[in-house]
Chains A and B, each alone.
Chain A
């Protein structure tokens, strides 16, 4: 405690380090606030007896949730959305994993070009102008008013992006393991399943969450393709909580918004914990 000889020196370093820490804390607090503040409405309005269009200290109640649970459509809508989204995730992930692996390991002429063309075209079919072709295509296949139709159309639109991202992951993997596995008699599918997938799992997790979110929030496709009230997913049902004049039924919408948002957050937390929600860090030069 008495050796103060070097303390000047050290406190100088300490001060600058502390300053830097404070600066860092300040910056992340401001950015954190930027990301957190818009979410406030989701924490107040659902619990407010008279939710408005802006954030105010709520007149606490759970009545809005009672209203949601009493609603004949709200519960099944969330389940429907879950089924549809999970099916889309499985289909996209499976097809994208296989395709991106093959594309990464085998030189097919024009591969990258085709992939990018598909990526661009996928933005065409998500626009409103594509409604008629999509509807008539599924109509001719007898897929109107089926989940199959919605899932397939969503899958077609999301697959190129999934392959595009996943292929980058695959490209970074060294092939030595795969080769030795092949030498010891494993089939290509076993190699993919037992060697490649475990390594790219974080990337697959990112794709899965991204696809889930896209399917979970999509309004237009299920709206024009589904008919039965008990088949409608949450995105469509949320638009039913409007009055005949097109005005929002705020108590219902506020509570439903929260219930509608929670699954995607849980899904992310689950995937993050289970698989590590990270892009694979490998790099190509």
Chain B
């Protein structure tokens, strides 16, 4: 056994030696062949960085151009409608349109269909190597961190100042455009957006003697309804507000953030992250109440597939009230093709705006609140054909193409002109578009957002599990938050 001791020593030594040697290898960080303007983020706000190209979009190269589009979607899989729209609507029409202009373009679709984190990781790896798709389906809150890494750049820098001339901007509300703006520069064209509401089972409300056209106007209204349901229907879990780490972003954006906004504070406000303020404690107190009184099911928050189970239980009438985005209506309980379909969904399921703590207590003095995410497309800073890629991106954001998409899958798009017609026979989405989007709040695109979001999930879960009181959870949130973003960037309580 002696040579095993020798083995150990050699392993340790050789590991050290080799690790030392590899220090002389090319530093992977500096091999980034991408655009290496370190001050890309601080460039001039009017976006006048001149491209090495020769002018307007009419001047397109003639030679054969190959472009690729990437989305977190796949034909026959996740987000199938998006994938089919790209392969069947966008690509053929764009290719023939370009052909008419004398440009030989081939467009390829690179599907992904995986978790958002996996998709983002793959994009980062591609862009890091100076590779990657030309037109990239993107989540609005990734812009800042990709920009800081030089993986993304302002459109004006990649294409030229003429990007401002696109007439499509007029159809996209300023607030929605803003979701892809950083330092006053446009990084992408927004495509879809969403909003959060409270869903409730009308059948259960009727059985419990509650109004079937419910619209709570305060947190107390929600708690009262929960108590009534608990009393009248003991087999039913009255409320579901996502409160588990395993729910991921759904705990942050579908639940906690709207509650916090309802207490009058944004997670990031006045150039600082919100620490253990009174509003933070009040928001956590809401969770403390509903989970403490058993109005919501703690165990359900702790399972790896808890969110899925909560959907299933709501669809089966075992949960009466559930806070979610419009995705829940479109893809989960939709009678046709939903994951857990509900027959006659319009009669059985109602939806209401999320109330502030009490009327007028929400951010900007609002009575009701919502939180939104948004998707869109950015350009690869290293694209070999920026002009053609920009043409493609514009085409994907055109009224014609966005309408074609809305026909495949009714959704709230970034374009108001499309929404007006496409949502006509979709009362629920109309409701989001008309009532919810005007009061919504977009999550901030900070590099540290994913960590803060996870911290929020852990904090809410600790309250739901009764591991901490609202006050204690808020103060430990603040101290951990300081660890992530720095003490100077946290507003204390």
Contacts and interface: CB of A to CB of B under 8 A. Distances in A.
- Do these two chains interact? yes
A73 B75 contact: yes
B327 A53 contact: no
A239 B117 CA distance: 13
Contacts of A180: none
Contact of B74 (A240, A248, A250): A240
B429 to A, nearest CB: 15
A239 B119 CA distance: 12
Contact of B78 (A53, A74, A116, A244): A244
A139 B31 CA distance: 12
A117 B11 contact: yes
Interface string A168-193: 00000000000000000000000000
A239 B115 contact: yes
Contacts of A73: 74-77
Interface stretch (A6-14, A20-28, A127-135): A127-135
Given A113-B10, A117-B15, A243-B339, A229 B75 contact: yes
B111 A113 contact: no
Contacts of B11: 113, 116-117, 120
A225 to B, nearest CB: 9
A116 B7 CA distance: 8
Nearest to A246: B115
Given A53-B308, A224-B122, A229-B111, A72 B75 contact: yes
Interface in A194-236: 223-224, 227-229, 236
Given A53-B305, A113-B10, A117-B11, A242 B78 contact: yes
A285 interface: no
A131 B116 CA distance: 17
A41 interface: no
Interface string A109-141: 010110011001000000000011101100100
A247 B339 contact: yes
Contacts of A279: none
B122 A223 contact: yes
Given A53-B305, A248-B308, A240 B121 contact: no
Contact of A236 (B10, B28, B110, B114): B114
Pick the most buried of A53, A72, A237, A246: most chain B CB atoms within 10 A of its CB.
Answer: A246
A245 B330 CA distance: 11
A52 B312 CA distance: 9
A241 interface: yes
A110 B10 contact: yes
Contacts of B48: none
Given A223-B118, A236-B114, A242-B113, A133 B28 contact: yes
B196 interface: no
A241 B78 contact: yes
B113 A240 contact: yes
A29 interface: no
B96 interface: no
B149 to A, nearest CB: 12
Nearest to B309: A53
Contacts of A244: 73, 78-79, 327, 331
A59 interface: no
A229 B74 CA distance: 8
Give the interface residue-count category, chain B: 35 or more
Nearest to A236: B114
A59 B60 CA distance: 59
A249 B76 CA distance: 11
A246 to B, nearest CB: 6
A243 B3 contact: no
Interface string B302-344: 0001011101100000000000000110011000000100000
Contacts of B250: 245
B113 A247 contact: no
Contacts of A136: 28, 31, 128-129
Contacts of B7: 112-113, 116
A120 B12 CA distance: 11
B78 A240 contact: yes
A93 interface: no
Contacts of B332: 243, 245, 247
A14 B15 CA distance: 62
Nearest to B338: A243
A224 B126 CA distance: 9
A112 B110 contact: no
A144 interface: yes
B428 interface: no
Q: Which of A116, A245, A246 has the most CB of B within 10 A?
A: A245
Contacts of B65: none
Nearest to B341: A50
A65 B115 CA distance: 24
A227 B79 contact: no
Contacts of A117: 10-11, 14-15
B125 interface: yes
A75 to B, nearest CB: 11
B111 A247 contact: no
B47 to A, nearest CB: 31
B339 A72 contact: no
Contacts of A56: none
CB-CB nearest 9 A-B residue pairs:
A240-B77, A240-B113, A113-B7, A71-B76, A135-B125, A72-B76, A240-B74, A139-B129, A113-B10
Given A113-B10, A229-B110, 14 more contacts: A71-B77, A72-B75, A72-B76, A112-B3, A113-B3, A116-B7, A117-B10, A223-B118, A224-B122, A227-B110, A239-B114, A240-B74, A242-B78, A244-B73
7 contacts: A73-B75, A120-B11, A133-B28, A135-B125, A244-B327, A246-B116, A247-B311
